[in-house]
Structure 1
Amino acid sequence: MTVPPLLPNPPRRIMAVWFTGLAIDRWRLAEGCAPGQGQDAEPFVLIEDTAHGPRIAAANHAAVAAGAAPSMRLTDARTLCPTLAVRPADPAGDFAFLENLALWAQRWGPWSALDPPDGLLVDTTGVAHLFGGEHALLADAAGAFARRGLAARVSLAPTAGAAWALAHFGPNAAIIASGEDPMIALGDLPAAALRLDGEVIVLLRRLGLKRLGDLHDQPRDALARRFRNRRSAAANPLLRLDQLLGRLPEPLLPVIGVPAPMVQRRLMEPIRHRTLLDQVVTDLAGDMARLLEGLAQGARRLELGMWKVDGDVLIRRLEMAAATRDPAHVCRLFASRLDDLDAGFGIELVRLRAPWTEPLVLEQADLDDAAERHGTSLAACIDRLTVRLGSDAIRRPVPYASHLPERAQRWSPPLNPLPSSQEELAFHHRPLKIFDKAEIVSVIYETPDGLPRRFRWRGEVHEIARAEGPERIAPEWWRERSTVRLRDYYRIEDNLGRRYWIYRHGVIGDGRGGAPEWFIQGLFA
Structure 2
Amino acid sequence: MTGGCGRRILSLWLPDLALDRWRLAADATQAALDHGPLVLIADTAHGPRIEAINRHAGAAGAQRGMMLADARTLCPAIATAPADPAADLAFLEKLALWARRWGPWSALDAPDGLLIDVTAVPHLYGGERALLADVNRAFAGRRLTVRAAIAPTAGAAWALSHYGPPDAIVDGAGPDFDPEQGIARALSGLPVAALRLDRDVLTVLRRLGLKRLGELGTIGRDAIQRRFRNRKSPAANPLIRMDQLLGRVPEPLLPVVQQDMPLVQRRLLEPIRHRPLLDRVLADLAADMARELEGRGEGARRLELGLWRVDGEVAVRRLELAAATREAAHICRLFAMKLDDVDAGFGIEMVRLRASWAEPLELAQGDIEASAEAQGTSLAACIDRLTVRLGEKAVSRPVPFASHIPERAQRWQRPLDPEPASQEQLAFHKRPLKLLDTAERIAVLYATPDGYPKRFRWRGKVHEVARVEGPERIAPEWWRERGSARLRDYYRIEDEAGRRYWIYRLGIVGDGRGDLPDWYLQGLYA
* CA shift in 2, pair 1:376/1:114, >3 Å: farther
Q: Distance in 2 between matches of 1:328 and 1:288?
A: 11
Aligned 1:171-190 pairs, distance under 5 A: 174-177=166-169, 186-190=187-191
Q: Is the 8 A contact 1:15 1:157 kept in 2?
A: yes
Instruction: Give the structure 2 partner of residue 161 of structure 1.
Output: 155
Residues 1:18 and 1:407: Cα distance change in structure 2 (over 3 Å): farther
* Matched letter for residue 472 of structure 2: E
Structure 1 residues 249 and 391: CA distance shift in structure 2, 3 A? closer
For 2:269, the equivalent position in structure 1 comes to 268
Shift of 1:139: 5.5
Question: 1: CA distance between counterparts of 2:250 and 2:477?
Answer: 50
Partner of 2:57: none
Which structure 1 segments of 5+ residues have no match?
1-7, 46-58, 67-92, 146-152, 224-231
Query: What is the match of residue 62 of structure 1?
Result: 67
Q: Which blocks of at least 5 consecutive residues in structure 2 are unaligned? A: 31-37, 50-63, 72-84, 173-181, 225-232
2:10 aligned with 1:17:
no
Give the whole-Å Cα distance in 2 for the aligned partners of 1:131 and 1:457. 75
Assess, with a 3 A threshold, how the Cα gap between structure 1 residues 446 and 202 changes in structure 2: closer, same or farther: closer
Q: Give the RMSD, CA atoms, in angstroms.
A: 4.7
Provide the residue aligned with 1:380 in structure 2.
381
Q: CA deviation at 1:426?
A: 3.0
Larger deviation, residues 340-349 vs 274-283: 340-349
AA in 1 matched with 2:333: R
- Does structure 2 retain, via aligned residues, the 8 Å contact 1:103–1:255? no
User: Are the equivalent residues in 2 in contact too, given 1:98–1:114 (CA < 8 A)?
Assistant: no
Q: Which amino acid aligns with 1:240?
A: Q
**Aligned residues of 1:386 and 1:393 also touching (Cα < 8 A):** yes
Q: Deviations over 1:88-119 (max 9, x none)?
A: xxxxx97x985773343332333311346875
Aligned counterparts, 1:102-501, within 5 A: 102-110=93-101, 111-115=105-109, 119-123=113-117, 126=122, 133-136=134-137, 144=144, 154-159=147-152, 160-168=154-162, 170=163, 174-177=166-169, 186-190=187-191, 193-194=194-195, 211-214=212-215, 239-243=243-247, 252-365=253-366, 370-372=371-373, 377-422=378-423, 424-501=425-502
Query: How many aligned residue pairs are there?
Result: 448
Contact 1:486–1:506 (CA under 8 A) maintained in structure 2:
yes
Structure 1: how far apart are the matches of 2:516 and 2:241? Answer: 62
1:357-412 per-position Cα deviation (integer Å, ceiling 9, x unaligned): 11212122369973438997111111111111111211222233333222322222
For residues 516 and 216 of structure 1, what CA distance do their matches in structure 2 show?
Answer: 61
Alpha carbons of 1:35 and 1:474: their partners in 2 closer, same or farther (altered >3 Å)? farther
Letter in 2 for 1:155: A
Q: Distance in 1 between matches of 2:285 and 2:437?
A: 47
Is the 8 Å Cα contact of residues 471 and 490 (structure 2) preserved in structure 1? yes
Q: Is the 8 A contact 1:470 1:489 kept in 2?
A: yes
Equivalent pair of 1:299/1:356 in contact (CA under 8 Å): yes
Matches of 1:374 and 1:472 in 2, distance apart? 52
Give the Cα–Cα distance (whole angstroms) in 2 for the partners of residues 119 and 99 of structure 1.
13
- Within 2, Cα distance between the matches of 1:182 and 1:268? 63
Cα distance in structure 2, aligned partners of 1:9 and 1:480: 57
**Alpha-carbon distance, 1:335 to partner:** 0.7
Paired position in structure 2 for 1:39: 43
Q: Aligned to 2:329, what secondary structure does the other structure show?
A: helix
Aligned to 2:175: none
**1:205 Cα shift?**
9.6
Q: Is the 8 A contact 1:508 1:515 kept in 2?
A: yes
Higher deviation after alignment, 157-166 or 369-378: 369-378
The one-letter code of the counterpart of 1:174 is P
Quote the Cα distance in structure 1 between the aligned partners of 2:271 and 2:496. Answer: 77
1:402-446 CA-to-partner distances (Å, cap 9, x unmatched) read: 332223222222222222244543333211111112222222445
What is the Cα deviation at residue 122 of structure 1? 3.1
State the one-letter code of the partner of 2:309: K
The TM-score with structure 2 as length reference comes to 0.71
TM score, norm. by length of structure 1 = 0.71
